[in-house]
Amino acid sequence: MPTRTHLYRYVIILSVVLGCCSFSNATYVEYFSDNGYGNPVSTLQHPAAEHYQGVTYVAYSGPHEDPYVAAYDHTLGKWIGPVHAGVNPMGKSPDQVDPGELDNHGRPALIVDRQGYIHLIFGGHGGEAKFGQNSFGTPGKGRQIHVVSKKPRDISTWETLENVSPFGTYSQWVKMSNGDLYLFYRHGSHRSDWVYQKSVDDGRTFAPEVSIIKHKAAAGSLTVHDSWYAWFDQGKGDTITASYVYHPCANPGHNAHRNNTYYMLMDCRDNSWSNVQGTPLKIPVTKESADKLTLIQATGTEKSNHGSCHVDVEGNPHIFFRFPGQIRYYRWDGKAWQKPTTIGADYSKGTDGDFIIDSPLTVRALLTQNHDGKAEVNWWKTTDGGLTWAKEATLFSRPDVGFQATVLARNAHPDAKMLICSKDPKQEHLYHPMFLIGEKGAIGRPADESSHLGDRLETIKAMPKSQSKAEAKRRKKAGLADDDS
């Protein structure tokens, strides 16, 4: 006769078997959420994901352009969230279906501090004039907002910290090896300086803004203003890199043109800046000093755009800049800037992403690209310092859509390298599925757990038809993108 212990064992085994059967019969999808809204992610607001103590945390714009956070536990193989983490003051209600009414500048950037608290910056497109005097530029819309999880490693509840300037957009976190946090952003709308604020206490307080790239009236012009788009990251040791492009901001006759490519470096030990040769720079850098001391390439009428920048073990920078339909790779070889090369010319449309430096000559790029009617997430590799590139593998693909990418997750797990969304140009709404992509493809989820839209799509169908397609065509014809203001 079975003992009570044996019966307990039978019950446990039966439960496991039934659980496995239920698990195997569940309908899985490749996306973890379907409520990415508008243009949910970008490589400019960064990072958008970080792997910390076995969990990858991701952030994106959801309904009303509010920030949403999800987490994937690699040990348990389970998703948590997404959780609504704050209110974007530029969001609108009801749901918009016209892309021309989106702002997108308030996308969240995410970082995890030394104690495991998760921080988001979001909601800003330069900040409104009602918040006071903007001493570094001109006000815009929204408000730069800083929220932090109430508990370490817990995305369930959030609180707002009133400790950063409201006049921010293109917010970017840089976390140093000692845990110090730097927050970089443009301090206002187009005609504004790029600044940073520093925290030495895990984001609880920040020092005042420091201007590093200056806006001003362009020399010799009554209508053009010197403006910039910049990208920041940790360099070698106690340094921070800045790669940037110039925007001749015209009024009247504003357009989205940008040109030239630039690079400089900050030494965090004394807050000094220098160019790639080590020549000291007077901060904030002006157009004239940038052209003289930090210019990589003058691109003329060819439009250049921000990319990402990392350094190799020798401290030499490698940089991606985006040009129409392509990414170009630049490398400082210790003496000069190597002639830029294009990665995958036949895979150029829709290209964006980030890269990893394995050695001064070996670099791997993870890029979203369109090819043969499919959107792909591809690994590319060079072993000769970027002179030639070869496609290594396709991690994920979908037909008849486009992908939007983030930069690589900070401290990325092999299974969770990059957060992306897919966009179907045929759909009549602005909601998009979100994917976390790694070496094994997308980290899937049961379909019932991935659905977070409720009846939103039914509500949208009942709304009057918008001019979304016409507005999208108008912006494209004008050369405008969602990060062009």
Active site residues: 105, 170
**Residue 180 to residue 211: CA distance in whole angstroms:** 19
Q: Which residue has the tokens 């714009």?
A: 61
Write down the residue that tokens 């369930």 correspond to: 156
> Which amino acid is located at 310 in the chain?
H
Decide: 167 and 139 in contact? Cβ < 8 Å: yes
Q: Give backbone dihedrals phi and psi of 407, rounded to 5 degrees, phi first.
A: -75, 170
For the beta carbon of residue 259, count every other beta carbon within 10 angstroms: 17
* Token pair in block for residue 251: 């009024």
Which of 273, 287, 198 has the alpha carbon at shortest distance from 235? 273
Distance CA 429, CA 155 (A): 28
Output the 3-class SS for 172-221.
Answer: EEEECCCCCEEEEEECCCCCECEEEEEECCCCCCCCCCEEEECCEECCCC
- Note whether 432 and 379 are within 8 A (CB): no
CB neighbour class for 172 (10 Å; exposed up to 12, middle 13-18, buried from 19): buried
How far is the C-alpha of 116 from the C-alpha of 100, rounded, in Å?
38
Beta bridge partners of 364: 356, 381
Locate the DSSP E strands across 222-284. 224-234, 239-250, 259-267, 272-274, 280-281
